[in-house]
Amino acid sequence: MRCTSVKRDPALIPLTHDHHDALAQARRLRIAATGEAAHRGDAAAAFIEFFDTEAISHFREEEELLFPLLVEVSATVPDLLQRVLVEHIQIHCLVRRLRLDLKSSTVGAGIMLEVGERLEAHIRLEEKQLFPLIEQVVPASMLVDLTFPPRRRGWVPEPDGVSDAAGSAASAMGHDPNKQRGEGAQGG
């Protein structure tokens, strides 16, 4: 991930940190997909563990805490928000397929690449379009009251046999993907 100097509202920083960690996971999954077939199962299992313990919580926080603020201040539900919500469901569907393939020991490179690419594109859409829209239309007084339940942020499991290129890139940016961040609203 390229390091850019996007100024993010402090209330959204925990979600942006989650996005960074998810990008690292998506990259690990794509790297494993192009590697040895023997390691695909381990990488898929690590990604599913990440998805179950981190990404689902992240989606829920967005859907239950952040997105309602945008709807509340908008006359209609923005098309961009509808697209993001549909993408959440599509990502759930892809991960379900990955989970079924893992269960039947038939994890293919195609599904791994699709999950990784779809997740990355989704994150980029949120960071480059949706979050700026939210920052533009949701009053700061509403965002300042935004709090997220405490949970461990920044956990990125490392599957056996998969290079940690994503983690190395994160470290080069001054971000330790394995370091536990502070809990709560502004802790991340």
pLDDT in tens, 57-93: 999 999 999 999 999 999 899 999 999 999 999 999 9
CA distances (Å), 94 to each of 6, 46, 99, 168, 186, in order? 30, 15, 9, 27, 31
178 against 16, higher pLDDT: 16
Q: State the amino acid at position 55 in one-letter form.
A: A
Contact between 31 and 162 under an 8 Å Cβ cutoff? The reply is: yes
pTM given for the model = 0.79
Percent of the chain scored above 70 by pLDDT? Answer: 77
Q: Is the pLDDT of residue 3 over 60?
A: no
Q: pLDDT (tens digit, 9 = 90+) per residue, 129-155?
A: 999 999 999 999 999 999 888 766 655
Q: How confident is the model at residue 158 (pLDDT cuts 50, 70, 90)?
A: low
What mean pLDDT is reported for the chain? 83
